[in-house]
Structure formats: structure tokens, C-alpha cells
Structure 1
Amino acid sequence: MTWRPRLIALDIDGTITPVGREDVAPAVRAAIKRAVDHGAHVVLATGRSLVGTRPIVEDLGLRATTAICSNGAVWWDTDSGEVVRKIEFQPGPSVERLRDLLPDSVFAVEVTGVGNLSLGRFPEGDLWGEVREVSFEELAATPTSRLVMRWVGRTPEELALRLLDIELPDVSASCDHNEPWLTLSPPGVTKGAALEVLRRELGVSEKDTLAIGDGSNDVAMLWWAAHGVAMGQAPAAVRAVADAVTGTILDDGAAAVLDRYFAA
């Protein structure tokens, strides 16, 4: 019998949608629907906040599943519309460290299901939901599931180089490969760790898991899956940990992977 995954984890940005957008290509949409129709449990596992994830879930019509948001810190039940799991951390120490290290950086902490509190102004369209600028004191004192930082006027390479040997206290960190953007999550929180908890809850075998992603925050998820697939435009370090590499987002690479197991 041909192997088919029973639990499929899909990144959003750069995997099923262009970065920062909400439009899923028709071929990708159809491939996801076929997987669901064949009984696969499809989970969106994303670095996006819940506010940025909900429109994709609703557009795809995903039901009876969990959306894993904020790199695994927030779980959202697609049927009840409720947050069923949330892990938070205190952002103050990391923000204070990064402000000294990266002049001109701006910060935002996620307010789950609502939007963000920001320290400094982000470019238009960077943050999902409502945005309210606050003082350092208020932002630092707000427990959050996700903190993001943009180093204004710099490149992703400059950010990665500056942070190369820097350890931030009690957080998990990932740098974006498209923008000078850093995401901080609670310690130990990754997409892979969250998916392992979900896999056990669902009673799915380790051998029946598939994941597709393109960013550094997808590395743990690709390691977790029995078959981890990197998108064609993913950085070399991400492609190196994957079991296979598919086409780029422009080539509907995610659809090509799913179509191997759930052909039309």
C-alpha cells in the first residue's frame, strides 16, 4: 500500500502563501482539500499570530483541527474558535538587551487574538490586527506568547551576523531570512515541540507525519516529521535538514508534495 501521511503540518508564509499575504494559490488550495478529504489531519503551524492565521484557516475551510500559531505558543481550535493552549514569557529582559545591541530596532508583543503593543513604529503591513504604541515600561511588563523585532534600515544578513554569538535569556529565537526580523517565543517552544504534543494527543504514529516549511523557525518541525520537506526558496541551512526539497512558492511547491500522496 502506498504511504500516506495522517498528520500534515504546513507553514504559511513562503509555503502556502506569499510572505505576509492571504492568497493561497488554487493548486495549493485544491491539494490541501484533497488531503483533508482523504482523512489527513492538516495543521497550519506558523510563526504568525492568531490574528494573522485565522483568515487562512477560514479561507481554506479547515475544520476539526488545531491551528498552531506563534511558533507553537498559541493553539487555536478551528471548530470552537477558542484558544486552547497558550504559553507566555516576560519580554522585558530580551527587549532591554536587544535595544542596547541593535540601535533603531522596533519591538512588538502579541496580544493574542487582538493585535500588538509596539515600542516604536513598524512599517505599514508588518503587524496583524490592532497596533497600539506604548512605553518601554508597559511593553516590558506585558507577558506575551510572541515578541517580534525589526531592525530598521538593516538587512537580514546584518541582523544574523550581529546576533551570531548572542544568547538571550529564557527565550527561543529565530531570524527571518527575508527581512531583518527576529521572533522570540517562550523557552522550549517550537513548532516541532508543539506538533509532537499534538501528535501524541491524536494518537498518530511518528511514521505517519509530514511537514513542509521554508524558514529557520521550521527547522524543528522538519526534524520532527517522518518526512520533512523544504520549499525550494528556503535558505541552505533549512534545505540541509529536510528529507526532500520541493519547488518554490511560485512553483506551488507545497501542492507538488501533497499531490504525490493525494492525487486528483
Structure 2
Amino acid sequence: MSVDFKPDLVALDIDGTLLNPDTDTISDAVKAAVRRAVDSGAHLVLATGRAFLGTAPVLDELGLTSGFALCSNGSVLVDVARREPVSVASFDATPVLRALQEHLPGAIFAAEDVGVGNLVSAPFDPDKLHGPQRITPIDELTAHPVPRLIAEWTEHDPAELAETLAGVRLPSCTISVDTYEPWVTVVPEGLSKGAALEKLRTELGIAAGRTFAAGDGTNDFEMLSWAARGVAMGQAPLDLRATADDTIGTVAEDGLAVELDRLFA
């Protein structure tokens, strides 16, 4: 890649990339670097597994007032200026819910209600599942199509969860297992951060070779592969770092700020 590469579309994961999950903060250095990228004219897109309600406070903290955000692993496209979803992809999650109940006994589930909160089979930690929670009988969670279904396998660790679901084929969906928590996120088939970003890139008329992405989780594989330059955070799993074009500093080291400052000096 050319040493003078300067992207026109910058896609950034939130948790573990922009935001340090150990401190639940975005550093001043990262905020300033994001502002420089925006001021340079780049289209900056937050691409996250978070729901819209969990993404909005981050948009506010970064001072973003225009453009788009991709929430729920690409299922929900948000107009940043209006602070509201402009498109939502949903699916019948009932068969997936039943399969996950079979493979993950004791798991609790949440079905996203965009802009409202989540229907949950049991209470989730409010720091992890953003927005109001409404306890709902499990057979009613997916009575209507949803953009995102979450399963948390409480009292198990992410490695055990990943091993349990390895090779399991779930119907008509795309799944990702969280890197740090025993969570499974399920969205409509064919959707991912990368797929949603490619659609947005085309609509914005941005050249494929002028794209950049940074992430740290298993739901970032497609996004980093999609980008002309895709970088993994220093604390990311080894397989993600091996897939990325480069590995930058950890979130605690403000690795994203260093990379953005290099690109938008």
C-alpha cells in the first residue's frame, strides 16, 4: 500500500477499539484523532455489535453530528445527524433460538427492539446490554422478526462457548461469538459489518481502495478483510491479527490514535 494512503471511508469498532473496556472510557487522544479524521473530510462510520441505544452515547462523546453508524453487526443503519435508524434488516429468529437452547442449556436470551430496548428471557447486566429490558416468556421473544438475537451462556467462558458451537449450523443467520464474554450475537443471514460497509461504500461512491477499518473482535473478521487497509488492535485474538493487514497498539496504548494520526497527519 502506498505510503501516502489516506482513506475516504474510516470504519471503527467501538468496544476494545475506540473504548477501553477496562475503564469504560474513550481517551482524549483517541477523541482528538477521530476529530482530525473527520475534519480531513473522511466519512467516519462506527461499525459495532452494539444496539443503536448503546451506540448513540458514543456518537455524542465523539462529537459526531453527520454520516452513518452501523449497529447490531450491520443489521441497523443509523443516520447520525437525525439520531435514528434509516434501515433495519430483520429475520425469523425462532429456529435459531430453539437450536441455541438445545446447545447452550441455561443460556439467557435477548431480542432487540430497535430504538426501544430488548425483550429478555431473564435480566442481563445493564452495562452489557444497553437500553431498557422487558422480561418476556421465551417462546414470545421471537414472535416477530428481529434484527439481532443475543444468547449469554452464564457461568461459562467464551472459549467453552466457541468450542460448543464449533461446527454447529444454525438456520438462516450469521452468528459471532464474543471474544471476551460468553455471548453469541445472531443477525440475518449474509449480514456482517463487512457486508454492510460494502453496501454503504457503494452508495457513497467511495473507491474500494480508499477504505480503512480497525477492530478487535471475532465480529470484525469480515470488516478487516473488506477494508483496503484493515488493522487489528494489539489485544485482539491471534487469528484476527493474522487476518489483518497489520496489528497496531492495544486499546490501552491508544493504538487507534497512533494509527489515525499517521493516516491523517
Question: TM class by shorter-chain length?
Answer: over 0.9
Instruction: State which of 85, 88, 93 in structure 2 corresponds to 1:86.
Output: 88
Is this contact kept in 2: 1:91–1:140, CA < 8 A? yes
Alignment partners' CA distance in 2, 1:21 and 1:11: 17
Report the Cα distance in structure 1 between the residues aligned to 2:147 and 2:29, rounded to whole angstroms. Answer: 33
1:173 to partner: Cα distance: 0.3
Aligned to 1:251: 253
Between the aligned partners of 1:105 and 1:210, the Cα distance in structure 2 is: 36
Structure 2: distance between partners of 1:132 and 1:77: 26
List runs of 5+ in structure 2 lacking aligned partners.
none
Which residue of the partner structure matches residue 224 of structure 1?
226
Q: What letter is aligned with 1:8?
A: V
**Match in the other structure for 1:194:** 196
Please list the CA deviations of residues 77-108 of structure 1 after superposition, one character each: whole Å capped at 9, or x if unmatched. Answer: 01122311110011111111111111110000
The answer (yes or no) to whether the contact 1:15–1:212 under 8 Å persists in 2 is: yes
Amino acid at match of 1:83: P
Q: What TM-score does the superposition give when structure 1 sets the normalisation length?
A: 0.97
1:3 Cα offset (Å) = 2.0
In structure 1, list runs of 5 or more residues that go unmatched.
none
Question: What's the % identity of the aligned pairs?
Answer: 48
Aligned residue in 2 for 1:2:
4
Counterparts of 1:124 and 1:76 in 2: how far apart (Å)? 22
- Picking from 131, 134, 137, the partner of 1:132 is 134
Distance 1:190 1:153 in 2: 28
Mapping 1:75-224, distance limit 5 Å = 75-224=77-226
- Give the superposed CA RMSD: 1.3
Query: Does the CA-based 8 Å contact 1:171-1:184 persist in structure 2?
Result: yes
Aligned-pair CA distance for 1:46: 0.4
Residue of structure 2 equivalent to 1:46? 48
Name the amino acid aligned to 1:34: R
Structure 2 CA distance for partners of 1:201 and 1:22, relative to 1, 3 Å: farther
Q: What is the CA-CA distance between 1:21 and the residue it aligns to?
A: 7.2
CA distance in 1, matches of 2:117, 2:102: 26
Distance 1:120 1:63 in 2: 35
SS in 1 for 2:222: helix
User: How far apart are residue 132 of structure 1 and its match?
Assistant: 0.6
